[in-house]
Chains A and B, each alone.
Chain A
Amino acid sequence: MSVAEAPGRAEPREAAASRLSRKIDWRVFAFVTLLLVLLYQVAIPFLMIVWTSLKTVRPGEPDFITLTFSLSNYVRAFSSSSFWTAAWNTLLFAGASTVVSFVLGAFIAWVVERTNTPLARFIGTMMVARIIVPGILITVSWILLASPNIGILNLVARDLFGVRNFFNIYSFGGMVWVHSIEMVPLTYLLLSASFQSMDPRLEEASTMVGANNWRTFRRIAMPLAMPAIGAALLLLFVTTIETFEVPLLMGGRARFRVFTTEIFQTTSRTPVDWGLSSTYSVALLALSILLLVIYFRLLRHGESYQTITGKDFRPRRIDLGRWRYFTCALSLLLVFIITGVPLLVMIYASLLPNWQAPGIETFKSMTFANYDSLFSTPAVLMPMLNSTLVGIGTATIVVLIVAMISYFVHKTQFRGRRMLDYLAFAPIAIPSVILGATFLWFYLILPVPIIGTLTIIGLAYLTKYMPFALRFVSNSMMQIHRELDEAAQVAGVPWHRNFFKVMLPLLKPGLLAAWFWVMVHAYRELTVALMLARSQNRTAAVLILDYWEQGSFLKLSAFGVIMFLALLVIVVLSNMLGKRYGVREQY
């Protein structure tokens, strides 16, 4: 039924009809614009990687845009031993980190979701709260803890037992440990969600037919959890092969090179080896695409297990008896190592006049001098402001775009709406190092002077964070009944008005979650920001790396503490604003 035929409407048929067509125009216009923006933001990076890898000249030279291609970069890369070393190292590093973080994260998720361990909720909250601690600070704090000669743990071990350099963080084991610790909250989030969505009746049914706990676990719980576990393992693996902070800060001294550091090195040393860098990128991209394809197949397989569900869901918690105090203590220890240690090390180091092991004298000598000197340096303010701007700006724009995408995908019948979904999701396969590089290369060719501004970082972040935001928003979009939109259409409300007045308020929970996620991650992001950094657009994370390279650990720590606090303030403030304005979350 169209508006023109609605009974009881006094206006003439023509007027209503023309209003109808105008409304459809608006929607089509928005749809086409969105499609073009996505093509520009997503297709170009993919194209740039492949294009550059087939070129022997650098972007910006006239020959770069001609249609002559060569495979010489590939020949060069595949015949060098450093390519194969990097490939092997990448896989080794990813494999080991995946296993360690999976074991730790799965243990905590199991304790929190499926046992009667005391303080379970607190443990879960602290796990998630870790997400606002910037990754580079975690890496730095572990280096300060366990590096040879200066690491706190090594100094303590020397004083107490006379052992020199008991720990060496600059090693394969050290890298795996730090990166795993960093990924545990992600593992926890992935697995706790799937543990929650498991129907406890399936296990109870097994108990009722006489199976004991062990057989129920082996024959029912494990097989049912397998798709989710497999998907989590794959995602952890992909995350690790794309990671950059740990290999950058520790890989050099550990003599352990992976793809991401190779790409960064070939791009940042002079003369820049564009061809080789993009060849590495193609290899890395191909690997992550392959893994993500398997990942999505597993996810779909897992969803087919969830077609049969009950109405009342009370998670089945295992009574651990006295063991629950043990699991509680162990989880608290892990949470302390994962969330507490980096912050404590940062605060400790930020208060020192010079680097020394903890002791009575050390605590007596503590001062705020590092903070004083930071605040008296005007150059410090700029990166902080940049991070805030980029974080809030990116989050807001990403959330708006993603809301529109999921509206078109889930609530309209437009042809090509699936295309939007795929385009917005594809960047999940692009490692940050490559994303940064392609944006740099592209704007070297394009005569738009945005290199060295916050805009180019924001554009790259738009591509980078869209897939994640889309997950949050699509989930809440699917919960809104299509009839709510159709009711507004039949009532003759213009489309854009309906979108802002009906859809966005209804989507609030998903939008808020997406906004926080993007804001926090864009605020603390290092890799892309580093690839695109010039003098004026340095972000807080880049400044931390600068301090690191200068060896000013104490200033770095003070700055890290301020950065963390600033992020905390933004999160708390926007949380309060979100609660105050807008609709209450009761849908």
Chain B
Amino acid sequence: MISVAGLGKTFQSKSETVHAIRDVSFEVAAGEIVTLLGPSGCGKTTTLRCVAGLEKPTAGSIFINDRPVVDSKHDVFVPPHKRNLGMVFQSYAIWPHMNVLENVAYALEGRGMSKADMRAEAMRALDTVQMAHLSDRPAPRLSGGQQQRVAIARALVGRPQALLFDEPLSNLDAKLRMEMRKELRRLQLQIGLTSIYVTHDQSEALAISDWIILMKDGQIVERGRPVDIYCRPKKVFTAQFLGATNLFPGTLVALDGQRARVQGPHGDLIGVLSDPELRIGAPVQVSVRPEAIRMASSLGGTGQADANQIAGRLELAVFAGNAVEADVRVGEAKVLCLLDHDADLKADRDVVLTFAAEDTLVLANE
């Protein structure tokens, strides 16, 4: 278990103090994988490096299995080599002057193990990542995916208390990334190691995590289970960052339990209230995912009592394999829709967009 509380890190540049992260707190339960997600510069890597001990935070505390490794109040700082963590770097950091087996076995040095034991342990770790057959290959002759596997074996071999991943898939090509993403998840479920995973790729985060923590400008924006955070985000930033979304501005005019009515330039829209704090009269954004939208050529019965309908003009529809992407102009705004792959591609025609109230989210305006 890892618990981080009130973590802060400032860098002193020439004229100003830069807050890389500010008041970051979260917990990682034993055996779970928590993803720090966010755009570049949001502080996710800095947070991870503070947990690793590669950066010294300026405020806050970090406990690993109830042992304090950082406590800035009591001036506690355990150096990284005494934290017993495994880390997979973005660049893999495979030592080029060693072969595959040596790279992994090096992680066991200084523990009083015999050469033979070290070798056996390292081979076992390589076996877990299906690299045992390449154990004597020199490191510079490995492909990106193979380096990735060696890096994981090296992180695992010392039986660390937790694993840290710093954007481990970002240097792989798209196809390999999809494969490795599933394999990482399988491995994590199999070994059940407490892990922190850093990425800027939302689909990777959704696939791999037990929990997602979304960060922006050095602070935590929102946290939740992947399904919840994707389907029911509380913040506009979350809705935008986790996949594409369409936003319509408006004012909250009526509330009926979870259902909210919003008045705006696009007419009245009904949706699910995401933030119970919102009061009538508040400025809000209505968020609809592109795949939740249906398109028809005229207004008509939808069969649903509380479906939203907006009229617009189809400007361009392109075939994208598993779907058709359509740009629909609605007043000033452009709405992105993902339609069935057999949808009509003919552009320049008036259309009506329909989306159910339960697929519509009413978010606080930021």
Binding site for B on A (CB under 8 A): 199, 201-202, 204-212, 215, 219-220, 223-224, 304-312
Contacts and interface: CB of A to CB of B under 8 A. Distances in A.
A199 B155 CA distance: 18
Contacts, number: 90
A210 B158 contact: yes
A207 B96 contact: no
Interface in B168-220: 171
A199 B54 CA distance: 15
Contacts of B80: 204, 207-208
A202 B107 contact: no
A210 B93 contact: no
B331 to A, nearest CB: 39
A53 B158 CA distance: 65
B89 A204 contact: yes
A211 B94 contact: no
A206 B139 CA distance: 15
11 contacts: A201-B93, A202-B93, A204-B89, A204-B93, A205-B89, A205-B154, A209-B86, A209-B158, A210-B110, A211-B81, A211-B106
B124 to A, nearest CB: 16
Given A308-B91, A308-B139, A310-B91, A206 B96 contact: no
Contacts of B85: 208
Contact of B81 (A199, A212, A307, A310): A212
B308 interface: no
A407 B111 CA distance: 55
B97 interface: yes
Contacts of B109: 211, 215, 219
Contacts of B90: 201, 310-312
A205 B151 CA distance: 9
A353 to B, nearest CB: 48
Given A205-B151, A224-B96, 8 more contacts: A201-B89, A204-B93, A205-B93, A208-B54, A306-B96, A307-B96, A308-B93, A310-B89
B258 interface: no
Nearest to A219: B106
Contacts of B81: 207-212
Nearest to B147: A308
B48 to A, nearest CB: 11
Most buried by B among A207, A208, A212, A307: A208
A204 B96 contact: no
A311 to B, nearest CB: 7
A210 B106 CA distance: 10
A46 to B, nearest CB: 36
B97 A223 contact: yes
B96 A205 contact: no
Interface string B71-109: 000000001111011110111111111000000001101
Interface in B42-73: 52-54
Most buried by A among B85, B91, B94, B171: B91
B319 to A, nearest CB: 27
Contacts of B158: 209-210
Interface of B: 52-54, 79-82, 84-87, 89-97, 106-107, 109-111, 139-140, 147, 151, 154-155, 158, 164, 171
B91 A206 contact: no
Nearest to B91: A310
Contacts of A204: 54, 80, 87, 89, 93
A304 B54 contact: no
Given A208-B81, A211-B110, A215-B110, A305 B97 contact: yes
A220 B89 CA distance: 16
Contacts of B151: 205
6 interchain residue pairs of minimum CB distance: A310-B91, A209-B107, A205-B93, A201-B93, A208-B87, A305-B96
Nearest to B154: A209
A310 B93 contact: yes
B95 A205 contact: yes
A219 B84 CA distance: 19
Given A201-B89, A305-B140, A310-B90, A208 B96 contact: no
Contacts of B147: 308
A295 to B, nearest CB: 19
Contact of B106 (A209, A224, A308, A309): A209
Contacts of A223: 97
Nearest to B170: A311
Contacts of A202: 93, 95-96
A312 to B, nearest CB: 8
Contacts of B155: 208-209
Nearest to A316: B54
Given A205-B89, A208-B81, A212-B81, A304 B107 contact: no
A304 B140 contact: yes
Contacts of A208: 52, 54, 80-81, 85-87, 155, 164
Given A207-B54, A208-B86, A304-B140, A199 B110 contact: no
A306 B147 CA distance: 14
Contacts of A201: 89-91, 93
Given A207-B80, A208-B52, A215-B109, A304 B93 contact: no
Contacts of B86: 208-209
B69 to A, nearest CB: 13
B94 A308 contact: yes
Given A204-B93, A205-B93, A212-B81, A308 B54 contact: no
Contacts of A211: 81, 106, 109-110
Nearest to A226: B97
Contacts of B96: 202, 224, 304-308
B232 to A, nearest CB: 34
Contacts of B171: 311
B58 to A, nearest CB: 14
A207 to B, nearest CB: 5
Nearest to A304: B140
B171 to A, nearest CB: 8
Contacts of B53: 207
Contacts of B93: 199, 201-202, 204-205, 308, 310
A201 B95 CA distance: 10
A215 B273 CA distance: 57
A212 B80 CA distance: 9
